[in-house]
């Protein structure tokens, strides 16, 4: 994992250097606030769904697989998933633990770098539905679609005093941040017109109990975005979620304070300094949402400059030069 992170850092440093040396300074800073840019332009990364079976599926099971594949394509229902098959009847020593087949295995998006199985269970309607959506995930999606700058999920610990302290802090700090934080002014700062910059800063908080039976899949997703989060079961954890369901990172216990909340808020409302999604913090949550169909793009990301093209074009060119 350390080697992978180091390689990614070297790649990004090289990419930044090419952008700096190859193009005019100051051209490619993007003053669109992060929360707006990420909602309008960053598609969620797909979770990997592996269907394990032995030879063939029954009709009801095949319908579930067809439904998941259609959802991954955005055909009717929508979900950020990619479905793969593993037929154990043609694989030698492929099921050494003797697990019941057919079953579904869920993995984080490959680009997240998080390896291993997030969850696995029977290929049944109930388990598939629990995987694809839950009431709180639907509620978070609704808030993000309504242009909330961020949804702060408080995962309670069960320790009443600790949970009360974290909840009170969020209830005090989020309204204050809404008043004090400001989005960039592209016309004033950059002399640019990028369309309709969303200037209203509106945060939302959602409280999540670890014992909620309908949200166990969601809790698994949250606790897996960083290493060892499941070790803090007796501490409250806050996850800022933005864009199209990006869980930014985890704030734990005493790490939930005025400074860390404000730092996260400043990032969400500040200029999108790098338009490449993977260079920004966060792991996507699996949601069943038609983001493309419901999000109106109010801004344009083309940067000024005669015959220079947009920032994305220059980023593609820089990546090609790095590969060469």
Q: Percent of the chain having pLDDT more than 90?
A: 65
| pLDDT for the residue numbered 185 | 77
For residue 29, name the pLDDT band (cuts at 50, 70, 90).
Answer: low
Q: Mean of the pLDDT values across residues 196-213?
A: 94
pLDDT at residue number 301:
65
pLDDT tens, residue by residue, 71-84: 999 987 899 999 99
DSSP state of 211: T
Q: Contact 103/122 with Cβ under 8 angstroms?
A: yes
Mean pLDDT, residues 147-176? 97
- pLDDT tens digits along 95-120: 656 688 999 999 999 999 999 999 99
Q: Write down the pLDDT at residue 77.
A: 85
Per-residue model confidence (pLDDT) at position 192:
58
Q: What is the pLDDT of residues 59-69, one digit of tens each?
A: 999 999 999 99
pLDDT band at 170 (very low <50, low <70, confident <90, very high): very high
């Amino acid at each position: 994992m350390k080697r992978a992170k180091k390689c990614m850092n070297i790649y990004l440093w090289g990419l930044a250097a090419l952008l700096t040396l190859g193009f005019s300074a100051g051209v490619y800073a993007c003053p669109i606030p992060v929360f707006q840019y990420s909602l309008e332009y960053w598609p969620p990364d797909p979770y990997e769904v592996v269907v394990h079976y032995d030879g063939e599926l029954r009709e009801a099971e095949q319908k579930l697989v067809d439904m998941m594949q259609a959802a991954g394509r955005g055909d009717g229902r929508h979900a950020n998933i990619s479905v793969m098959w593993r037929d154990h009847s043609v694989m030698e020593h492929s099921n050494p633990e003797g697990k019941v087949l057919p079953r579904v295995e869920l993995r984080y998006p490959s680009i997240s770098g998080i390896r291993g199985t997030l969850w696995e269970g029977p290929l049944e309607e109930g388990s598939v539905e629990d995987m694809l959506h839950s009431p709180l995930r639907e509620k978070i999606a609704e808030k993000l679609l309504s242009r909330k700058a961020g949804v702060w999920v408080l995962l309670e610990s069960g320790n009443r005093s600790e949970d009360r302290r974290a909840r009170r802090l969020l209830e005090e700090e989020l309204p204050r941040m809404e008043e004090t934080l400001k989005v960039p002014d592209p016309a004033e700062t950059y002399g640019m017109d990028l369309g309709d910059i969303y200037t209203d800063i509106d945060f939302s908080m959602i409280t999540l109990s670890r014992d909620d039976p309908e949200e166990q899949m969601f809790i698994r997703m949250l606790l897996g975005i960083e290493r060892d989060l499941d070790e803090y079961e007796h501490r409250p954890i806050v996850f800022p979620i933005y864009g199209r369901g990006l869980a930014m990172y985890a704030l734990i216990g005493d790490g939930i304070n005025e400074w860390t909340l404000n730092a996260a808020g400043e990032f969400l409302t500040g200029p999108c300094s790098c338009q490449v999604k993977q260079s920004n913090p966060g792991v996507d949550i699996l949601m069943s949402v038609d983001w493309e169909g419901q999000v109106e793009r109010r801004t344009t990301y083309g940067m000024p400059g005669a015959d220079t093209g947009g920032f994305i074009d220059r980023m593609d060119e820089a990546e090609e030069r790095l590969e060469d």
